[in-house]
Chains A and B, each alone.
Chain A
Amino acid sequence: MVAPLFAVENISVEIKTNRGLLQAIRGVSLEIHAGDSIGIVGESGSGKSITLKAILGLLPNNAQLTSGKIYVAGQDIAKLDKKARRALLSESAGMIFQDAIAALNPVITVGDQIAEVPRFRLGMSKKDARKTALTLMEQVGISDAEARFGLYPHQLSGGLRQRIAIAIALSGSPKILFCDEPTTALDVTIQAQVLRLLLELRKNSGLGVVFVTHDLAVVNEICDSVKVMYAGRFVEAGKVATTFNSPSHPYTYSLLKAAPDPDAAVHRLFSIYGEAPNLTLPVVGCPFAPRCFVAEAQCTAMEPALLPIYESQSACFKSSDRDLWAASDSKLGRR
């Protein structure tokens, strides 16, 4: 067993809001090995993005890591000084964001932005940095890189901007690319192109990918394993094929059920009734219980832990009955 590149042990994050302290992440553990491709799915506010930010040390001022440990390449990053931590993280991780226009500096040409890391971190000459940037642009599938080197972000289309953002993230040759909903702001054809690019990068250079999204189809396409997040915790984790074919948590089950099936004639889509819990209040019992179709008394009394079941992991007392769920899921989508 190779040591993981990133090992996250039971981290919790609190965010100060004007409604009080919000428990954004409540005990999340995660291992990322070189070459992994992990999808983290969940609805808005479930803590997916905050998890990424916590791992990469990019938490906003009002958020704080309250417990847990993060190891990068075997080193506890809390014990490193700022400079060493930055160096270690920048060698290991790159990140791309949902909104590529916000992820690019509007006043610097895209070429110079890609050349920045080679030039100022790796200490290349101006000419070599430019050459490296052009190579990176070609690598992310930008044709006519030479002509586009001197353009500003606003002069490029959404898909090209995301490619530039990927090139910047790759400029420090990271081992894992953290993606925070990078395709959400793109239209479907461009989305497919960007996903194809990420798949190619994975295949050609063994780049690991951690992909945060609420799009299950995207995870299905590019990830090997998936973590389903709900109310600041992972409620189910496993191989993509296993989890999507036979979910062990009612939440995952409901999510999959709610996804439209292109082949079936459906008048009304399933939806999960209720809303996500308010995390400024203490969580008692399973946070999904009020919306769950198999919940019973013990679910509202105690919060289940994430335990191995079947071939994956699930945080549910009722996982062992999963074959019976199809009979009771008629409660889904009702109000």
Chain B
Amino acid sequence: MKSIKTFYLGAGILGLLVMAAIFAPLITSFDPTEQDLMQTLSAPTSAHWLGTDALGRDVFSRLIYGARIDLTIGVLAVLLPFIIGVSLGLLTGWFGGRFDSLVMRVVDTVIAFPFYVLAIALVFIFGPGVKSIIVAITLVGWVAYCRIVRANVLVAKELDYVHAAKLTGLPIGRILRRHLLPNVISQAIVFSMSDIVLSILAIVSLGYLGLGVPIPTAEWGSMIQEGQPYILQQWWLATIPGFMVVIVGFALSLIGDGLVARLER
């Protein structure tokens, strides 16, 4: 029962954020990129709930418009590696042989580099922007799913009912999809929850390093970077976007915990 509560708590927090991001124009009347040079670095007021930044832009609307970008990329940058990694894991685990060795050597190579080093290098090559962030994180991220699923397939393919299906001569695609996949996917789903946190963190870090979404688009990472010079006077500029990342991470962890308990009953 506890697991269901944590799941709903996490889903509730995330749901609120997603709703805020979707209905951003209804929640705030300020344009997140509109500058008001008469009112820079103002403290929170009744008009600007979280104050304004150095260019007089409303921090609150930048925060919720930023959620759009960060959550979208976060999800996409997990969905693509998930699909690629799970498919390759299924195939390598099932067929083995040379194809398996080849893919696993690629996996080893990717894993040999620290995540950020490779991601930053790839974004550098492709040039900053939403697309290259997604591509970079996909290229680095699929290996984890491939490994998880492959390991599970190696166990699951010795199950009696997989043997039975094999012996009855069902088409391989059918066996993989109906008999193997439902068995091996749950761990990958649980992992993907914590992976979204990682990928949002990566997007924010890339944004902070100036490799993210081009300015002036609102994005949490660049907001932290822009707020950094004022950390002693206007501490909320850098702290609040960072706090948002923490909240998203917290919500996803709760969902992940709930899923673990539910799927691995």
Contacts and interface: CB of A to CB of B under 8 A. Distances in A.
Nearest to A60: B158
The 7 closest A-B pairs by CB, nearest first: A90-B169, A103-B160, A102-B160, A97-B160, A107-B182, A117-B168, A172-B168
Contacts of B178: 105, 108, 116
Contacts of A96: 164
Contacts of B182: 105, 107
B169 A91 contact: yes
B25 interface: no
Interface in A63-112: 86-87, 89-91, 93-97, 99, 102-105, 107-108
- Where chain B touches its partner, the secondary structure class is helix
Given A117-B169, A172-B169, A165 B174 contact: no
Nearest to B171: A120
Contacts of B262: none
Interface string B127-164: 00000000000000000000000000010001111011
Contact of B164 (A61, A87, A169): A169
Contacts of A99: 160
A117 B164 CA distance: 11
B165 interface: yes
Given A95-B163, A165-B164, A168-B164, A105 B179 contact: yes
Contact of A121 (B159, B160, B170): B170
A56 interface: yes
Interface in A141-157: none
Contacts of B5: none
A309 interface: no
A217 interface: no
B153 to A, nearest CB: 11
A107 B177 CA distance: 12
A256 to B, nearest CB: 31
Nearest to A180: B160
Contacts of B171: 120-121
Contacts of B168: 90, 94, 116-117, 121, 168-169, 171-172
Determine which residue in B159, B160, B166 has the highest number of CB atoms from chain A within 10 A of its CB, and name it: B160
Interface residues of B, number: 19
29 contacts: A58-B166, A58-B167, A86-B166, A87-B169, A89-B167, A89-B169, A90-B167, A90-B168, A90-B169, A91-B169, A93-B167, A97-B163, A97-B164, A102-B161, A103-B160, A105-B178, A105-B182, A107-B182, A108-B179, A116-B168, A116-B170, A117-B170, A120-B170, A120-B171, A121-B168, A168-B168, A169-B164, A169-B168, A171-B168
Nearest to B95: A82
B96 interface: yes
A102 B170 contact: no
B163 A58 contact: yes
A179 to B, nearest CB: 12
A38 to B, nearest CB: 18
Interface in B111-133: none
Determine which residue in B158, B164, B168, B174 has the highest number of CB atoms from chain A within 10 A of its CB, and name it: B168
Interface in A274-316: none
A108 B179 CA distance: 9
A91 B182 CA distance: 27
B159 A61 contact: no
Given A90-B167, A104-B161, 20 more contacts: A56-B167, A58-B163, A58-B166, A60-B158, A87-B169, A90-B168, A93-B167, A97-B160, A102-B161, A103-B164, A108-B178, A116-B174, A117-B168, A120-B171, A121-B168, A121-B170, A121-B171, A169-B164, A169-B168, A172-B168
Interface residues of A, number: 30
Contacts of B179: 105, 108
A58 B171 CA distance: 16
Nearest to B96: A61
Contacts of A87: 169
Contacts of B170: 116-117, 120-121
Nearest to B182: A107
Interface in B167-189: 167-171, 174, 178-179, 182
A86 B163 contact: no
Contacts of B165: 105, 116
B57 to A, nearest CB: 51
B86 to A, nearest CB: 17
Determine which residue in B161, B166, B171, B174 has the highest number of CB atoms from chain A within 10 A of its CB, and name it: B161
A97 B163 CA distance: 10
Contacts of A61: 96, 154, 158
Given A60-B158, A102-B159, A120-B174, A95 B169 contact: no
A31 to B, nearest CB: 20
Nearest to A121: B169
Interface string B215-233: 0000000000000000000
Contacts of B166: 58, 86
Nearest to A89: B167
B182 to A, nearest CB: 5
B161 A94 contact: no
Contacts of A91: 169
Contact of B167 (A95, A102, A107): A95
